[in-house]
Amino acid sequence: MILSPFRSLVAVALLLAGAALLLPRLVPGTPRDVGIILFVGALLLTVMAMAHRGADPDCDTASPALTRRYLRALMASMGAYVLVLAASIWLLKRVDPPLLRAAVALAPVLPIGFAVRAMVRYMRGLDEMQQRIELEAVGVASVLVSMLYMTGGLLQSARLVHVAGDVAMIWVFPLMCAVYGIAKAFVARRYR
């Protein structure tokens, strides 16, 4: 069976949805937010899968060498991020001096910086049409996420919703990445 983007995205979406449903039953005491986050993740991946449906299997025009280098760098950074984040959460419960706490809290930004560097190098290695697709997708993602946050801000000031500030700030980057992925699939269709 060929591992197309559509099948991979559907598989991961199903895994996330399954985890969202089973986790609270298997691990009692799991915060409700974890289930919601997993479920929203599954929903976003499903939309991405629908956007990729019927697409050319190599809808990304990057050369295999460039894609390999990018994925290797991205996976290493994200792996490091998970480890550093876990260590940071563990240490924050045990460290008191404010400066040290700031350093520990900000440590996960470093691997994210490497991931951003990998993204920039990947985009610079693309040909001009793909760079245009990336630019349009990033533009769409910036506008949509900004509008979402502005809408949320207005609803929050009217006391109709309540989202904790730290949660809202942490979700900017993952949301940008997810919306960019969805937007890219739609933008790329125009050039096919």
Partner 1 sequence: MRSRVRELREARAWSQAQLGERLEVSRQTVNAIETGKYDPSLPLAFRIAALFETSIESIFFPEAPA
In the complex, the residues that contact partner 1 under the rule CB under 8 A are: 56, 58-59, 61-63, 127-130, 132, 190-192
Choose between 18 and 139: whose C-beta lies nearer to partner 1: 139
3-state secondary structure of 158: coil
Please state, as a whole number, how many other Cβ atoms lie within 10 Å of the Cβ of residue 60: 19
The torsion angles phi and psi of 54, rounded to 5 degrees, stand at 75, 5
The C-alpha atoms of residue 142 and residue 147 are separated, in whole angstroms, by 8
From the CB of 129, what's the least distance to partner 1, in Å? 4
What is the DSSP code string of 46-66? HHHHHHHTT--TT-S-S-HHH
Choose between 96 and 128: whose C-beta lies nearer to partner 1: 128
8 Ramachandran zone, left/alpha/beta (phi>0; psi -120 to 50) = alpha
From the CB of 186, what's the least distance to partner 1, in Å? 14
Choose between 30 and 61: whose C-beta lies nearer to partner 1: 61
From the CB of 130, what's the least distance to partner 1, in Å? 7
From the CB of 128, what's the least distance to partner 1, in Å? 5
Choose between 88 and 130: whose C-beta lies nearer to partner 1: 130
